[in-house]
Amino acid sequence: MSRKVLVCIAAALLVASVPVLADEDAFDKAIHEYGCADYPKAYRLIVPLADGGHALAQYQRGLMLEQGQGIEADLVEAFKWYKKAADQGIADAYFALGQIYHKGVAVPRDAIQAYAAFDVAATLGHAVSGDWRGMVSNTLGMEELAKAQKVAAELLARRPAGALDPIR
């Protein structure tokens, strides 16, 4: 069996584990194309879903913009889409925001925002976010840490009641 076929099968299995949403068929098709490495087609399919408010599509659009998959890399635009997905409760998007704040790419370096994003992602079950949160907390003073914890609590409080937490 060819590698491309195996990748497509793996992508199909991944898609089967994603929660059902209104635009799930279109999202499934986009993720299938992404899994088959047809990034331009996947990006074309993701754009209208993300524009329409589909949280996982917003995260995927951010990822593709960050990686330059199917479109030229644009970290500022990726940050925007990660933020939209995070605002809908996507743990992976919070982790991506934490990375961006920690590195200071697309936005000024901000350890407080990085800590808060990693904390929310960890609270939502993202596997490695707790490690990143710990690393960032070691760079913060007591007052900064208290502020970062307050920001994280505010982010969690604003999280939509029916938000998704898909951890892949």
Whether the per-residue pLDDT at 167 is higher than 70: the answer is no
Q: What is the pLDDT of residues 106-152, one digit of tens each?
A: 999 999 999 999 999 999 989 999 999 999 999 999 999 999 999 99
Q: What is the pTM of this model?
A: 0.81
pLDDT for res 24: 78
In the listed set 50, 66, 88, which residue is the last one of a domain according to the structure? 88
Same domain, 48 and 97: no
Q: Nearest CA to 133 among 159, 61, 124?
A: 124
Same domain, 83 and 104: no
Same domain, 113 and 35: no
Same domain, 54 and 29: yes
Phi, psi of 25 (to 5 degrees): -60, -45
Same domain, 15 and 96: no
pLDDT for res 21: 46
Q: What is the pLDDT of residues 40-95, one digit of tens each?
A: 999 999 999 999 999 999 999 999 999 999 999 999 999 999 999 999 999 999 99
Length of the chain: 168
| Domain, as residue range, for 64 | 1-88
Q: Is 168 contained in some domain?
A: no
> How does residue 18 score in pLDDT terms, banded at 50, 70 and 90?
very low
Same domain, 84 and 96: no
CA 60, 62, 67, 68 dihedral sign is positive
In the listed set 35, 53, 88, which residue is the last one of a domain according to the structure? 88
Q: How far apart are CA 98 and CA 115, in angstroms?
A: 7
Q: Is 23 contained in some domain?
A: yes
CB 87: neighbour CB atoms within 10 A? 17
Same domain, 48 and 95: no
Same domain, 113 and 79: no
Mean pLDDT of 149-159: 91
Q: How far apart are CA 111 and CA 115, in angstroms?
A: 6
- Count of structural domains, the chain: 2
Same domain, 12 and 36: yes
